[in-house]
Chains A and B, each alone.
Chain A
């Protein structure tokens, strides 16, 4: 019973927590000294960033399980995680430059985190394109892609970090805020619940679609054998 309504419950909880978190952010939290009101973007930008990474890792792990055990559920989990990683990644990559433009007047700084998130998002997009539009046998190929993508991210991050330390810039990259944490957690909770609720719904849809496919095959087989009954 709980499992049946878990995704819906998560979405409902997220719908309740979300207005509360927005109220906390805008009404209770003081305006940050150096960056001003635009800093409020951060409270949802950072959770989306964490979620993109989390979804990429889930996709990679599910893809490994799918290759190993040929499990349909694992394949569904990987696709759902990739779709949500795509949405969250798009959110990060759009809100980040907006915040950068508001704070420094510079949307793209090419710093390590930005670059690695953008490349991870491209890998997720490639995975989705292969799953949706690839030829019939390409599920395993897509799974390999997901695993490689998950491994590549630390490499990218390390490479860009090396680059930045050899050529120091004068930009001060905003790291996590000092004393505004209290308003951060409700926002994180809202986005987390919303994302996992949507993921649960999507996984259910995908598993159902696979089962429908198998049912159709059995129906067409039955019709085929009915017509050619030798007796």
Chain B
């Protein structure tokens, strides 16, 4: 299928670029370590029952911050050399761009969580159930990161295509990814408390992820390419009269 082939090509290009300097991977992994140190300092002395509530929060907050950092870095390169617009002009299926960028961000995020989760298990004894069910924990973390990346890639790309400021990304990203993170919070807590219904959470997470990925892929082209007509006229008009009231 043409789409898969394009995704594979773009993904390989991204990875090749990443392998040259390992910039994004190293910065994200280091950020995870820093966050773990902060959590160890601030929450390490909690009693075990409180840790059951603290560990999911620590995990998914770290994912949120590392994810925001990763997405910013992944698209910074495009923004600096304006290559995103070149990609959009070329005969590439838009969804291929979305999926390849999302896959890169996902890989980096998974590497960061591979550092984060064992670290949390070491710091907090209450996180031991995660070590006892490694496959379940891995699946849960994977599904959570997929959901996060599905939402984040769309908006990071949208901001990179314009002359957007970085600060807007955090503004948009965190309110929108909160539902995914909350779902994962609930699932992680169920896992840690050995709740009987914990297994059903994987199915629910997968359903939410499907919805978000489909929505993100579908909205990618309209949001990025759409039509420049309305916005350009308004901007030109504002410039014409020196920005007098609107």
- A interface residue numbers (CB < 8 A to B): 67-68, 70, 72, 75, 119, 122-123, 125-126, 129-130, 134-141, 143-145, 147-149, 151-152, 155-156, 159-160, 162-163, 166, 209-210, 212-217, 219-220
Contact = CB atoms under 8 A, between A and B. Distances in A.
Given A140-B222, A166-B197, A126 B162 contact: no
Contact of A136 (B182, B215, B229, B231): B231
Contacts of B179: 119, 152, 155-156, 159
A122 B173 CA distance: 11
A139 B226 CA distance: 10
Number of contact residues on B: which range applies?
35 or more
A12 to B, nearest CB: 28
B155 A144 contact: yes
Nearest to A205: B246
A140 B223 contact: yes
Contacts of B237: 212-217
B208 interface: yes
A148 B176 contact: yes
A195 B78 CA distance: 43
Interface of B: 151, 154-155, 158-159, 161-165, 168, 171-172, 175-176, 178-180, 182-183, 185-186, 189-190, 195, 197, 204, 208, 211, 215, 219, 222-224, 226-238, 240-241, 246
Contacts of B172: 126, 130, 141, 145
Given A214-B237, A217-B240, A156 B178 contact: yes
B159 A141 contact: yes
Contacts of A138: 158-159, 162, 164, 168, 231
A126 B197 CA distance: 35
Nearest to B235: A136
A210 B197 CA distance: 54
Contacts of A213: 233-234, 236-238, 246
A155 B208 contact: yes
Contacts of B162: 134-138, 141
Contacts of B226: 67, 70, 140
Contact of A214 (B158, B171, B195, B233): B233
B171 A126 contact: yes
B175 A144 contact: no
Contacts, number: 140
Nearest to A133: B168
B178 A139 contact: no
Nearest to B228: A137
A162 B186 contact: yes
B240 A67 contact: no
B179 to A, nearest CB: 4
A142 to B, nearest CB: 9
Given A67-B223, A159-B186, A162-B186, A123 B176 contact: yes
A159 B236 CA distance: 45
Nearest to B215: A151
A145 B183 contact: no
Nearest to A153: B179
Given A137-B161, A151-B215, A75 B236 contact: no
A70 B230 contact: yes
A171 to B, nearest CB: 17
B176 to A, nearest CB: 5
A122 B172 CA distance: 9
Given A141-B223, A144-B219, A152-B178, 7 more contacts: A119-B175, A138-B158, A140-B222, A155-B180, A159-B186, A213-B233, A217-B233
Contacts of A216: 237, 240-241
B21 to A, nearest CB: 29
Nearest to B53: A167
B186 A152 contact: no
Given A137-B228, A144-B158, A209 B246 contact: yes
Nearest to B222: A67
Contacts of A134: 162, 164, 168
14 contacts: A67-B222, A67-B223, A70-B229, A75-B230, A126-B175, A134-B164, A134-B168, A137-B162, A140-B231, A155-B208, A155-B211, A156-B179, A159-B179, A214-B233
Nearest to A220: B240
A140 B219 CA distance: 10
Contacts of B229: 70
B158 A140 contact: yes
